[in-house]
């Protein structure tokens, strides 16, 4: 069984852009993997000889009362199925209440979570990502999903720890 990476985060942070880069498709693949629920977008990917399954999710709005209400059920299921969670945030937009709500949920889960600050192209990534250490989920990994920067490094670090 290949390792499963779930992409979670509020809308518009770049989850689908990363999914499409990893799976090298424009439209996210819908495939049928045994043992996995079928109503989310799964893609099979091989990057730098690392083979894995990646799951795109629709995003979590985080603007309701509690994170349990706010988090779309499919995102919860995707997290549940995953070996590794990439929690995407937007380095250009900075921290939002939705990010904090999602982080609270993820801190309680048993999953291995990587905070991924996306869209660091053309900005000072170090200073724009610094705020996200306050999410309390450890190191903040910088990427630019649209251009591929930082993606190989993130994969080898996260999959290498499994
Ligand atoms: P999702 O809602 O989390 O799936 O986000 P999308 O993948 O649909 O991306 C939302 C917007 O962010 C789109 O306009 C993307 O082109 C843009 N975007 C995604 N990744 C990057 C990036 O690395 N750099 C920049 N500058 N924009 C990005
Ligand atoms: Mg999307």
pLDDT tens-digit readout, 31-58 = 445 444 445 688 999 999 999 999 988 7
Mean pLDDT across 76-99: 94
Structure ipTM over 0.90, yes or no: yes
Q: State yes or no: pLDDT of 152 exceeds 60.
A: yes
Over residues 5-27, the mean pLDDT reads 87
Q: Treating both helix axes as pointing N-terminal to C-terminal, what angle do 15-23 and 151-160 enclose, rounded to 10 degrees?
A: 80
Distance CA 15, CA 135 (A): 19
148 is in an annotated binding site: no
Distance from CA of residue 44 to its chain's centroid? 15
Task: State the alpha helices, DSSP H only, in 57-116.
Answer: 67-70, 73-81, 97-108
- Residue 114: closest CA among 150, 149, 148, 146: 150
Closest CA to 27 of 51, 61, 56: 56
The answer to whether 25 is annotated as binding is: no
Residue 75 near ligand 1, beta carbon < 6 Å: no
Q: What is the pLDDT of residues 101-136, one digit of tens each?
A: 889 989 999 899 999 999 999 999 999 999 999 999
Whole-number pLDDT of residue 39? 53
Residue 41: CB within 6 Å of ligand 1?
no
Query: Ligand 1: does its nearest atom lie under 6 Å from the Cβ of 59?
Result: yes
The pLDDT-based confidence of 61 (bands split at 50, 70, 90) is low
**Mutate which of 6, 12, 14, 75 to test ligand 1's pocket (most atoms within 8 Å of Cβ)?**
14
Per this entry, what is the length of the chain? 162
The reply to whether ligand 1 has any atom less than 6 angstroms from the CB of 118 is yes
User: What's the angle, vertex CA 140, arms to CA 73 and CA 78, rounded to 5?
Assistant: 20
Ligand 1 mutation pick, 12, 17, 58, 72, max ligand atoms within 8 A of CB:
17
- Distances from the Cα of 32 to the Cαs of 2, 53, 60, 94, in angstroms? 14, 11, 24, 36
- Does the pLDDT at position 28 exceed 70? no
* pTM of this structure: 0.90
Beta-sheet strand order (sheet of 41-47): 41-47, 50-56, 4-8, 84-90, 112-118, 140-142
- Residue 27 pLDDT class (50, 70, 90 cuts): low
148 lines ligand 1 (CB under 6 A): no
Decide yes or no: CATH 3.40.50.300 for domain 4-160: yes
Residue-level pLDDT at 44: 92
**Where along the chain do its domains lie?**
4-160
Q: Give the up-direction half-sphere exposure of residue 8: CA atoms within 13 A in the CB hemisphere.
A: 34
Ligand nearest to the CA of 40: 2
């Amino acid at each position: 069984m290949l390792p499963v990476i779930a992409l979670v985060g509020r809308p518009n942070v770049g989850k689908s852009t990363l999914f499409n880069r990893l799976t090298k498709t424009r439209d996210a693949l819908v495939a049928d993997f045994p043992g996995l629920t079928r109503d989310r977008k799964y893609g099979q990917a091989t990057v730098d000889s690392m083979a894995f399954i990646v799951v795109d999710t629709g995003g979590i709005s985080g603007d309701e009362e509690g994170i349990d209400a706010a988090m779309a059920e499919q995102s919860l299921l995707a997290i549940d199925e995953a070996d590794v969670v990439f929690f995407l945030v937007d380095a250009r937009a900075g921290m939002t209440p939705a990010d904090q709500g999602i982080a609270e949920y993820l801190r309680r889960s048993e999953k291995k979570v990587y905070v991924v600050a996306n869209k660091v192209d053309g900005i000072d990534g170090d200073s724009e990502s610094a705020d996200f250490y306050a999410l309390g989920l450890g190191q903040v990994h910088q990427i630019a999903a649209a251009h591929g920067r930082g993606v190989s490094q993130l994969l080898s670090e996260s999959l290498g720890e499994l």
